[in-house]
Amino acid sequence: MINMDAALRSADRAAAAPFLQTPRIPAWYPFAMATYFTAVFGAFLLLRDGRVVPGAVLLLLAVAAVLAQATLTRARWGTWPRLSEAPAEIRRAFALYVLLAVAAIIASVGVWSWVGAAGGLAAVFLTALAVVWAYEFRLYPAAARQVRQRLA
């Protein structure tokens, strides 16, 4: 006779594995993502000011860099799990990440309108750095730890 509880636990472990066995994120990753977001905002600033060529080049370089990083990460991990298949703990951590990102955008826009573009770009970089760092080094590891404890 099959032990149904053991079979369900085994299926849960298998479904959670892609989210729990990912390689550690390198320390430079939050800085790279903060640079990416700052470059995108800077490109739109250049485009808004009529400097189309520098703005377009900066935007293309930023997008190319983030696509290259995502391609290399996927090749390194061998998978790219879908959030819709993530354990509830991981989905909650990601929802908090999105909420923090929205708060970072609002704060950056506030600083931008208060002190100008240079301060706004600095705010974009610093808030993006803080949000990405918090997710990658605090929120996600804590959620993964909760999943491991639940499945133990």
Residue 72 within a domain: yes
- The pLDDT of residue 86 is 85
Q: If DSSP codes are grouped into helix, strand and coil, which group holds residue 23?
A: coil
Residue 128 within a domain: yes
Confidence of residue 13 (pLDDT cuts 50, 70, 90): confident
Give residue-wise pLDDT tens across range 25-34. Answer: 889 999 999 9
Residue 26 Cα distances to 56, 65, 69, 126, angstroms: 29, 16, 12, 18
Residue 140 tokens read as 């996600």
Residue 9 within a domain: no
Q: Is 1 a residue whose pLDDT tops 70?
A: no
d(CA 19, CA 93): 12
Residue 92 within a domain: yes
Residue 129 tokens read as 């750095």
d(CA 74, CA 68): 10
Q: DSSP code of 85?
A: G
Residue 41 within a domain: yes
d(CA 34, CA 125): 5
d(CA 85, CA 18): 10
Give residue-wise pLDDT tens across range 36-77. Answer: 999 999 999 899 889 999 999 999 999 999 999 888 877 877
The model's pTM is 0.84
Confidence of residue 2 (pLDDT cuts 50, 70, 90): low
Type of residue found at 17: A
Number of residues written out for the chain: 152
Closest among 53, 143, 35 to 94, alpha carbons compared: 143
Residue 14 within a domain: no
Contact 69, 25 (CB under 8 A): no
Residue 18 within a domain: no
Residue 147 within a domain: yes
d(CA 33, CA 26): 12
Q: Is 134 a residue whose pLDDT tops 60?
A: yes
Range(s) of the domain holding residue 138: 25-79+86-151
Q: What's the structural domain count of the chain?
A: 1
